[in-house]
């Protein structure tokens, strides 16, 4: 098995970039990527729904994520 370039970004539901959580090459297999619920300026994000865009190699997946306080 080979690794792949992985990019994970969090967006508001209106498409504004909140934070890039990961942008690096990863080895194949299970990965756990923590997000501290902070934006790119280090501020806590609001309770809301967010879009998480995951690029692994040439594949893309969009997930919805709810943040609750």
Please tell me the pTM assigned to this model.
0.90
Q: How confident is the model at residue 34, as a pLDDT?
A: 92
CA distance 22 to 26: 10
Q: How confident is the model at residue 59, as a pLDDT?
A: 97
Q: How confident is the model at residue 8, as a pLDDT?
A: 98
CA distance 57 to 38: 26
- Mean pLDDT, the chain, as a whole number? 95
pLDDT digits (tens, 9 = 90+) for 30-51: 989 999 999 999 999 999 999 9
Measuring CA to CA, which residue among 56, 69, 44 is closest to residue 8?
56
Q: How confident is the model at residue 65, as a pLDDT?
A: 97
> Across-strand partners of 54?
8, 61
């Amino acid at each position: 098995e080979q690794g792949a370039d992985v990019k994970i970004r969090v967006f508001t539901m209106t498409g504004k970039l909140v934070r890039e959580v990961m942008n690096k090459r990863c080895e194949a297999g299970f990965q756990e990527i923590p997000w501290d619920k902070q934006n790119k300026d280090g501020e806590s994000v609001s309770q809301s729904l967010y879009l998480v865009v995951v690029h692994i190699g040439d594949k893309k997946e969009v997930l919805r994520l709810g943040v609750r306080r």
